[in-house]
Amino acid sequence: MPRYVCSDSPDVTYFFTVRAASRGTDLFLREIDPLRAAMRKTKDRYPFDISEIVVLGDVIHTLWRLPDGDADVSVRWRMIKSLFSRAVDAPAAVPGQHLRPGEKGVWQRRFWEYAIRDADDLAAHRHMIWTAPVQAGLVKRPEQWPHSSIHRAVARGHYVPGGQVGAMHLPLRAHTTGAPSKLRDAVAAAPS
């Protein structure tokens, strides 16, 4: 089994993308409370700061800062995934993968991790997180999405509602295929 080791340099911020096993699901939104509880319990056991986060139906994008000398992100994600998986029902069908012992088929097995290089890199990833619901076609403005740290940014004056939404982080546009129609329809039908 591969062992992923992050930098243990101080003051490193990491960007993560983690996905549900099934693309197009609304699992993380339907089960937002167990997801929040799993994150809280993990943070209590293995401290880290969530600088930014957005939760979509089948994907989570987040920026984390870890304590100095502790760069074990894998143990943190393993605990989050495990706690969340235990709290939700197994999917009716497991998409194209064989389950290993202890798996429910809720999460993709791995996560995408990236160490932020500088202030411009941080700004680009922060912008990508804030605008992900817009890029996915779920809302017209980032501040309309309820499951995002954009609301903290607005409160702190780091983001002005009605501000720029364009594709500052171009790789996101290349990888985004749009929201699944049932999720987009559910968001459109939700009261404002």
Judge whether 165 and 141 are in contact, CB under 8 Å.
Answer: yes
Mean pLDDT value across residues 28-42: 93
pLDDT at 39 over 90: yes
pTM, to two decimals: 0.76
Residues paired with residue 50 on neighbouring β-strands, in sequence order: 64
* pLDDT, tens digit, 9 for 90 and up, residues 121-162: 899 999 999 999 999 899 999 999 999 999 998 898 888 887
Q: How confident is the model at residue 42 (pLDDT cuts 50, 70, 90)?
A: very high
Judge whether 93 and 169 are in contact, CB under 8 Å.
Answer: no
Closest CA to 54 of 18, 83, 11: 18
Q: How far apart are CA 33 and CA 26, in angstroms?
A: 13
* pLDDT, tens digit, 9 for 90 and up, residues 153-188: 889 888 888 766 655 544 433 333 444 444 445 445
* pLDDT, tens digit, 9 for 90 and up, residues 60-115: 999 999 988 888 888 999 899 989 888 877 766 665 556 665 666 667 767 778 88
Residue 92 is predicted with a pLDDT of 64
Taking the chain, what is the end-to-end CA distance rounded to the nearest angstrom?
46
Judge whether 145 and 139 are in contact, CB under 8 Å.
Answer: yes
Q: How confident is the model at residue 48 (pLDDT cuts 50, 70, 90)?
A: very high
Residue 125 is predicted with a pLDDT of 92
Amino acid found at 89: D
Residue 171 is predicted with a pLDDT of 41
